[in-house]
Structure 1
Amino acid sequence: MKKVLFATTALVATAGVASAEVAVTGWAEMGLFGGDNAMGMGIETQFFTDIDVLFRMSGETDNGLTFGAGVDLDESTNDNGAGNTGGAFNPADDGGAFVFLSGNFGTVTMGDTDGALDWALQDADYGNAGSIADDETAHAGFLDTYGDGAYDGQILRYDNTFGDFGVALSVEMDDTGMMDTGFALGFRYGMDLGGADVGFGVGYQFIDVSNYLPGNLSSIAIPAQDFDGEYDIFGISASVASNGFSANIEYTDFSSDTAGEEEASHVSLGLGYTTGAITVSANYGIWDYSSDVAAFDGDITGFGLAAAYDLGGGASIHAAYGVSDYSDLSGAPAAFDDLETWSLGVALSF
C-alpha cells in the first residue's frame, strides 16, 4: 500500500447532477531495487518503475444521502510494480473498485474495501515514511489484511461513528457455496490527551476456507491440509501520535480446529518520526505458528526501515530496507532462510 499523499484534480459535472464530482489522483515512481532471496541468492540490482491512477466519484441526493465509487487502475490491471503488468480488470476480485452510500444511518461500502477487523485495527505502518517498492511492509513479519480477501475479495461493510467511538460490521461471501459466509465485527476509539492523539481498536473475524495461510506463508511448500478449515481471528491495537512522533502496537490471534489444531499469533510494533521535510520509520513483527497436522512450528520474524525526504510539490525521495527470517520455523524447506530487499528512488504524486 502506497503511503504517498495525493494531490486532487476535481472535475465537476453540471449536467443532471448538481453535486456530482470526479476526482483523479495518482502517483509515479522510479528508482532501483535489489536484495537477497530466500534461497540465499542475490536479487540483481535493477530498475524499478510503477504508475497508478485512481478515480474517485462522489455525489449527493436531494435529501442529503451521499454516494460514491472508486477504482484503482494499478490493482485493476494486476500491476505488481517493477514494470510487471498483466491481466485485465476482473470484477470477480474487484480489482481495487468499491461503491458506497452514506447518511445519518452510517456508511455502507461494497467491493475492494477493509473488513471490520482491518477497519478497526491500526497496522504497524502507522507513521510510515513509505517507499517505492514497499520493502518496509513486504517482509514476512508485517500483517495488514487480518483475513480479508480469503474468499473472492468482495466485502460488504457497514460502519458508523458516534463522537470518538466507531463500530463496523462486515461480510464476505463464498461464491461457490461450499463454505460458510465470513463475517467480522470491529470497534475503535480515539481521543486527544493534551495534544497526543491516542487510538484503540479491537475486533473479531470468522473465515471458513481451504488452505488459508495466515501471514506470509504462501511461498513455503507445505501440504495444503496443514492450514485448513474454520478460523477465528481476534485482534487488538493501540496507537499514539504527538509532536511528530508516532507509535503503534498490535496483537492478533488465529485459531482453527477443523483439520487438527492450527494456531498462529502475531505481534507487531511500529515507530515513526517526522521533522521538517524528513520522515523516518521502523516496524517489527513476529509470527508464532504451531500445527498438529504436520511438524510445522516456530517463529517467523521480520522488520522494515524507511526514510523519506519531501522535495515539495508532490515529489519525494524514498529509501527502504526489509528483512524476513524463517530460520526458526520447523517444517519449512531447508533452503528457506532469510530474505532481504531494498529500494531507493523518487515518488511523484499528482
Structure 2
Amino acid sequence: KVKLTSLAYDCSMFSRIPGIHSWQHWLSLPLTLLYLSAIGTDVLILIIICQDPSLKQPMYLFLGILSVVDMGLATTIMPKILAIFWFDAKVISLPECLAQIYAIHCFVGMESGICLCMAFDRYVAICYPLHYSSIITNSLIFKATLFMVLRNDFCVISVPVLAAQWNYCSRNEIDHCLCSNLGVTSLACDDRRPNSICQLILAWVGMGSELGLIILSYTLILRSVLSLNSAEAVSKALNTYSSHLILTLFFYTVTVVISVTHLAETKATLIPVLLNVMHNITPPSLNPIVYALRTRELRRSFQKVLCRSLQEK
C-alpha cells in the first residue's frame, strides 16, 4: 500500500478507453469535430455579445457565461483524450489527475447552475414580464455567477482531497480516458464508501436540487404558455423551450447514469466510458445551437457583425 502523494513520483496513472484500440484513431475524428465546433461557436457567441450593444441583456449575459463554462468543460478533457488517441500519451501524473477531477466537477456544477439561472430568467420573463427588469438585474447576474463559482470551488475541493487520503494498491491503471473521481478511487485498498457517499451527497444536494427547480420553472412556463389564446404563440414557445428542456434532461440523465454505473462498482465497459466522454463534450457542442442559433436577435446580430467585418475588409 502507498499514499497517493508518493504515486505522483513513483508511478503514473494510465487513462484509456477499453476495447477500441483498433479503431480509436477513427473515433478521434468526430470527437475533434465536436470539440472544434464547441470552441468555435462559443467564441463566436462571445464576440457577438460583446460587439452588439443590443445584446447586453440578462438572457444573453447568461448565455455568454454558459459559453465560457462550456469551453472550460470541453478543454478540461478533450486535449488529453485526443493526445491518447493520436500519440498514445496514456500517462498522466497523479497531481494532474486530481486537478482534472476538480476541474470537471467544478465546470459540471457551474453548467448546472447556469441552466437553472437561464430557466429562472425565462420563467420571470414569461410569467412576470412587467417585473422582469426589476427582478433580473446586472447585480443579480453578478451575484448568481459569483455564488456558483464560490460554491463549486469550495464544495468540490473535498472530492480530490478525499481521493488523496486513501491507500492505493500496486495497480495504477484506470479503465477510462479521463480522470473520474470514482474511477480513480476504485484503485484504493481502503473502504471507498465515504468517498462515494460524499460525491452522491454533493450531486443530489447541488445538481439534484437545481434539476428540481429547473423542472418546476419549465412546468410553470408551460402552464403560462398554454393559457395563451394564440395557437401560433403557443406553438412557437413550445418549439423553443422543448429543445432547451430536452438538452437539460440529457445533461442530467447522463449524469445519473454515470453515477449509478460507478457506484455499482462494475468493471468499466465501452458504453459507460463513452457516455462519460460525451457527457462532457456534447452539451458544449449543442448549447450554442439550441440556446443561441435559434434565437432571432442573436442571428440578426451575427449578420450585422459579419456584414460589418466584410465592409471593413
TM range, normalised to the smaller chain?
under 0.3
Richer in helix (by share): 2
* More RCO (CA 8 Å, sep 6+): 2
Normalised by the length of structure 2, the TM-score is 0.24
**Could you say which structure has the higher strand fraction?**
1
TM-score of the aligned structures, taking structure 1 as reference length: 0.22
